[in-house]
Chains A and B, each alone.
Chain A
Amino acid sequence: MSAASGDGRGAQRARLELGGMGLAAPRALARRAFRDARVRTISFAYLFAILAYIQPVGYRNAYPTLSSRLAFAHSFGDNKAIRLFYGVPHDLLTLSGYTAWRVGGTLAIFASAFGLLAAVRALRTEEETGRMELMLAGSVGRGTAYLSALAAIAAGVLILGLAEFAGLVLSGLPAGGSADLTAATASIMPVFVGVGALTSQLASTRRMALELGGAAVGLSLALRVIADTSANAGWLRWATPLGWAEEVRPFTGAHSIVLLLPAAATVLLLVVAARIAASRDIGTGVLPSCESAKPHLGLLSSPTAQALRSERTSLIVWLSSIGAFAYITGVLAKSTSTAGISKSLQHEVSKLGTGSIVTPTGYLAFVFIFFVLAVSLFVCAQIGAARHEEADERLETLLSLPVSRSRWLGGRLALAVAGAAAISLTAGLLTWAGAESGGVSISLAGMLEAGANCLPVAVMFLGIAVLAYAIIPRASTGLSYGLVTVAFLWDLFGSLLSVPHWLVQATPFAHVGLVPAQPFRADAALLMLAIALVGAIAATWIFQRRDLTGP
């Protein structure tokens, strides 16, 4: 992180200086921070490499001829509804242009999440747990601690960049363009590391720092979406780091000069964060945190009620972000149209794994597979929260009271199912509302059914996640998130590869009837619910027989 220390000049430099202690301590700190983050780094690197490899390979398989690509470009190039997900395509006729659009658009969102998570983990979580205080009580200065944390994150960013670059080159893309695309994706991470560093100074808790940073990610994405889908709002792309990455235009006439924007923003954010970090009390944030309050006695009557109270904020965030997203997709459904697209191309498009995407109904059905993913991730988060309660040993406090293990776990499961149902139905309702206000007539019942259709897969993943929680509590959270992600990616991209049919079908997402374009698949849904039930019963049985497990 010589760049960051080089930019903090004058007085700042003195504060950030490594003192007379040499590089042993910062090196040890950075190494430990890197080790702490290794699971996240490896998972993201894996995701980056797979996505970067599989997209170009899939495109080559799905659209082998120029005519099929022309038709594809024609249908997708002007399709605002698709731009919502991946941004504006600049050249869909070539493999590289397609890759820049699909890989760049998708990884940009993951990159911003990675930057934020890494920074908050290294800066605010360390402080909240008191470990930072321990380090600073030793011979480590604040500047050293800050720079060591950033050095560890920089190593992670480098690994992710290498993973993406390797995936692109292995798929047969030219190295130069792959480097540009990788640079565009990687440019997003430091900016959101800066955002995370700043929110870690503002907020006094990890949760609040993540919420503030998450709002920044959401805002960046929303600005990018508006810029890419509204007629006269293209200039808004310059107001968001995700837009900058688009403007780099790798493969299609790269504007590397744009990379100066994220560089400048990163430096600015990191220096401001460093200044605040150097001057505030350890353990506090700049924003006032409310430390006393009149008692609010609602939602304290049972462990489940109290769990709802703890999860309230996160549930509201899920509901409102999924709801907003659903509404926008509903509005944009209007812009999808089959006019001028041949039947054979529609068949080709359907190879993307989702049926006919170019009708409003087909598009909405396509979008709902993302809601199935979101709700599945939500239930993983709920089991993660239950595990957190045990790891922090608050569960010990609860179970020392006349509260049975089955009552506690059953309550958490009920809460997860209820939350998942609320999110699913909200998605259906607001998609309908959006479509109506956009001028597409679609049945409310059909969209609510599409919403409810998210539940069987999500509930099945809940059953699997809770079973993992009962058997291997410490590894369960990462395992269940990983399983959902892999299953989803396999559904999206497995069909693009030349693999046997049964292997393509080896993910629950492939067995979701794409309501409203396809009928609801009751057989698959019943099987998933049965798996969920078996998982939940087995989990309860095992959980009642194991020791509570600390962090």
Chain B
Amino acid sequence: MQLTPLRPDTPEVRSIANRSESAIHTDGLSKRYGTTLALDGLNLTVGKGEVYGYLGPNGSGKTTTIRLLLGLHRASSGRAELFGLDAWSDPVRAHERVAYVAGEPFLWPSLTSAETFEFLARLHHGTDVAYRDVLVERFQLDTRKKIRALSKGNRQKVQLIAALATRAELLLLDEPTSGLDPLMEVAFRDCVKEAKGRGQTVFLSSHILSEVEALCDRVGILRDGKLVDEGTLAELRHLAVQTVEVTFAGDAPELPVLAGVHVQSAGPNALHFEVSGGVGPLIAALAEHPVTTLTSREPSLEEIFLHHYEGSDGHVGG
């Protein structure tokens, strides 16, 4: 496996030692479809009880990762484990501890929601029926309706409720809120927080940044099948650009060129800075000028995300 470590402080040795305590562990996981390399040497470890946000635009390899984790598709190289069980060769034992919500709700059109719940519960032992009733209430689902009569959002609710009610140790959620309205999005977030409270592990694949920002302990950013960044939000912010806006008494001055500082005019007497690394040199340079206001804010996840996609080749999405 030809790989550059994603975080220098996470050597391979430590991740192997952690394996038995991890819910998800992948090692150089790659998947090739014909000539397309959909996933390229993914090294990922998600600890038990963690809520992990898996970010990336369409086609970046999020669903491929989940299909490999579930043993639905076979890795071209590398391996994936759930709770130390091989995802490909031991799927049934692994799935007893997993619940999955697919990005598209693929269910049986002639069954009603209630029948679907019954069927899925029979196949996944340990469904909490009382909790399921609570969830049906919370997501306001009419369980007498047949799946074919439901809108996409409602079918998505059926999947979500069935998955959450299993109280599985690991929830694999692939863009679970696509099609949900804002009220249901709130209900979903509450459910994920409850799951975390109970010690369940959540792997949340998403491109809705606010959702990931609100829920996740750690975030991984995927681009063209490669994990390009990973860490807690604080860690990601530390590495990303900070925005500084400054207004002056009088015209904005000419400042010397500073390494890691990108400057833009923001009006006749204001400047907009994007700073990667420390802000010290910028503050020192500003000290000689009549600054009236200075605002600085940490980057949103969206800015971090876009930063990765405006990277070396200069356009979003690669």
Write the residues of chain A forming the contact surface with B, with a CB cutoff of 8 angstroms: 205, 290-297, 300-303, 306, 310, 392-394, 396-404, 545-548
| Contact across chains for A401 and B95 when beta carbons are under 8 A apart | yes
Q: How far is the CA of A397 from the CA of B66 in the complex (A)?
A: 12
Residues of chain B within 8 A (CB-CB) of A295 are: 112, 114-115, 118, 143-144
- Asked if A548 contacts B118 (CB within 8 A), the reply is no
Roughly how many angstroms separate A300 CA and B109 CA in the complex, as a whole number? 14
B48 at the interface (CB under 8 A from A): no
Flag if B102 contacts A397 (CB, 8 Å). Answer: yes
Query: 1/0 per position for B184-207, CB-CB distance to A under 8 A?
Result: 000000000000000000000000
Contact in complex: A297, B144 (CB < 8 Å):
no
Give Cα A546–Cα B72 distance, bound, in whole angstroms. 8
* Cβ-neighbour of B124 out of A294, A296, A401, A548 (below 8 A): A401
**Stretch in B15-23, B130-138, B145-153, B226-234 touching the partner:** B145-153
B92 CB–A CB distance under 8 Å: yes
A-B contact pairs, 28 of them (CB 8 A): A205-B109, A205-B148, A291-B146, A291-B148, A291-B149, A292-B146, A293-B112, A294-B144, A295-B114, A295-B143, A300-B118, A300-B122, A301-B122, A306-B119, A393-B102, A393-B106, A394-B106, A394-B107, A396-B67, A396-B102, A398-B123, A399-B71, A399-B72, A401-B124, A402-B124, A546-B74, A547-B67, A548-B67
Interface size, chain B (Cβ < 8 Å): 39
For the complex, is B161 an interface residue (Cβ under 8 Å from A)? no
9 closest residue pairs by CB, A with B:
A291-B149, A400-B100, A295-B114, A547-B73, A393-B106, A300-B119, A402-B95, A292-B144, A401-B123
Residues on B with C-beta less than 8 A from A403 are 92, 95, 123
State A60–B262 Cα separation when bound (angstroms). Answer: 91
Within 8 Å by CB of B108, from A294, A310, A545, lies A310
Contacting residues, chain B, for A392 (C-beta < 8 A)? 106
Given A392-B106, A397-B159: 10 more A-B contacts, CB < 8 Å:
A300-B119, A301-B122, A306-B108, A310-B108, A396-B72, A402-B96, A547-B67, A547-B74, A548-B72, A548-B73
- Chain B, range 71-97, C-beta contacts under 8 Å to A: 71-74, 91-93, 95-96
Q: Are B123 and A292 in contact (CB under 8 A)?
A: no
B143's closest neighbor in chain A, by CB? Answer: A295
User: A-side binding surface: helix, strand, loop or mixed?
Assistant: loop
- A210 to chain B: closest CB distance in Å? 15
Contacts of A296 in B (CB 8 A): 115
Identify the closest chain B residue to A293 (Cβ).
Answer: B112
Contacts of A393 in B (CB 8 A): 102, 104, 106
Bound-state CA distance A546–B98 (Å) is 22
Which of B92, B98, B107, B114 is in CB contact (< 8 Å) with A397?
Answer: B107
Say how far B237's CB is from chain A's closest CB, in angstroms.
34
The docked-state distance in angstroms from the alpha carbon of A539 to that of B98 is: 28
Contact A545 B74 (CB under 8 A): yes
Residues of chain B at the chain A interface (Cβ within 8 Å): 67, 70-74, 91-93, 95-96, 98, 100, 102, 104, 106-110, 112, 114-115, 118-120, 122-125, 142-146, 148-149, 159, 172
CB distance from B42 to the nearest CB of A (A): 17
Q: Are B112 and A399 in contact (CB under 8 A)?
A: no
Pairwise interchain contact A396-B106, C-beta atoms closer than 8 A: yes
Task: Give chain A residues whose Cβ lies under 8 Å from the Cβ of B112.
Answer: 292-293, 295
When C-beta atoms are compared, the residue in chain B nearest to A546 turns out to be: B74
Chain A residues near B72 (CB-CB < 8 A): 396, 399-400, 547-548
Among A290, A292, A302, A547, contact of B122 (Cβ-Cβ < 8 Å): A302
A49 to chain B, nearest CB (A): 36
Closest B residue to A299 by CB, please name it.
Answer: B119
How far, in angstroms, from A397 to B95 measured CA to CA in the complex? Answer: 11
A294 and B73 CA atoms in complex are apart in Å by 37
| B108: nearest chain-A partner, CB-CB | A394
A303 to B108, CA, bound (A): 12
Cβ contacts under 8 Å, B122 to chain A = 300-302
Instruction: Write the chain B residue with the least CB distance to A403.
Output: B123
Residues of A within 8 A of B96 (CB): 402
Q: Closest residue to A400 on the B side, CB-wise?
A: B100
Inter-chain contacts of B74 with A (CB < 8 A): 545-547
Interchain nearest-CB distance for A123 vs B (Å) = 18
| Distance A393 CA – B102 CA, assembled complex (angstroms) | 10
Q: Are A303 and B73 in contact (CB under 8 A)?
A: no
**Which A residues are in CB contact (< 8 Å) with B120?**
401
Chain B hits for A546, CB < 8 A:
74
| A302, A396, A397, A399 pick with most chain B CB within 10 angstroms | A397
Q: Note all chain B residues with C-beta closer than 8 A to A397.
A: 100, 102, 106-107, 159
A399 touches B91 (CB 8 A): yes
| Inter-subunit contact B107/A400 (CB<8 Å) | no
- Chain B residue numbers with a CB within 8 Å of A400 are 70, 72, 95, 98, 100, 102, 172
CA distance A505 to B172 in the complex (A): 55
Q: Within 8 Å CB of B95, what residues of A?
A: 400-403
Q: Among A205, A306, A399, which residue has its beta carbon within 8 angstroms of that of B70?
A: A399
In contact, A303 and B144 (Cβ under 8 angstroms): no
Q: What's the Cα separation between A393 and B114 when bound, in Å?
A: 20
Given A293-B144, A548-B72: A310 in contact with B124 (beta carbons within 8 A)? no
Q: Nearest Cβ in chain A — how far from B282, in angstroms?
A: 50
Residues of B within 8 A of A402 (CB): 92-93, 95-96, 123-125
Is the beta-carbon distance between A297 and B145 smaller than 8 angstroms? no
Tell me which residues across on chain B come within 8 A of A547, comparing CB atoms.
67, 72-74
Which residue of B is nearest A547, CB measured? B73
A438 to B214, CA, bound (A): 78
Residues of A within 8 A of B100 (CB): 397, 400-401
How many Å from the CB of A313 to the closest CB on chain B?
Answer: 9
What's the nearest-Cβ distance from chain A to residue B151, in Å? 12
Complex interface: chain A residues within 8 A of B73 (CB) = 547-548
Instruction: Give the docked Cα–Cα distance between A392 and B148 (Å).
Output: 13
Question: B102 and A292: CB pair below 8 A?
Answer: no
Q: Which residues of B contact A300 (CB under 8 A)?
A: 115, 118-119, 122
Q: Which residues of A contact B149 (CB under 8 A)?
A: 291-292
Task: Determine the chain A residues whose CB is within 8 A of the CB of B93 once the complex forms.
Answer: 402
Q: Output the nearest chain B residue to A294 by Cβ-Cβ distance.
A: B144
Bound Cα distance from A393 to B73, whole angstroms: 13
> A296 CA to B172 CA in the complex, in Å?
29
* Residues in A neighbouring B114, C-beta threshold 8 A: 295
A33 to B124, CA, bound (A): 42
> Which residues on A sit within 8 Å (CB–CB) of B67?
396, 547-548
How far is B95's CA from A403's CA once the two chains are assembled, in angstroms?
8
Complex Cα distance, B108 from A398, in Å, reads 11
Q: In the bound complex, do residue A297 and residue B70 qualify as a contact, i.e. CB atoms below 8 Å apart?
A: no
- Distance from B211 Cβ to chain A, minimum over Cβ atoms (Å): 22
A295–B72 CA distance with the chains assembled, in angstroms: 30
Report the nearest A residue to B123, measured CB to CB. Answer: A401
A368 to B277: give the CA distance in the assembly, Å: 83
Given A303-B123, A548-B73, residue A292 in contact with residue B145 (CB < 8 A): yes
Contacts of A404 in B (CB 8 A): 91-92
Task: Please tell me if the beta carbons of B106 and A293 are within 8 angstroms of each other in the complex.
Answer: no
Smallest Cβ-Cβ distance to B106: which chain A residue: A393
In the bound complex, how far is the Cα of B95 from the Cα of A290, in angstroms? 34
Which residue of chain B has its CB nearest to the CB of A312? B110
A297 to B110, CA, bound (A): 13
B82, chain A: closest CB distance, angstroms: 11
The smallest beta-carbon distance between A207 and chain B, in angstroms, is 9
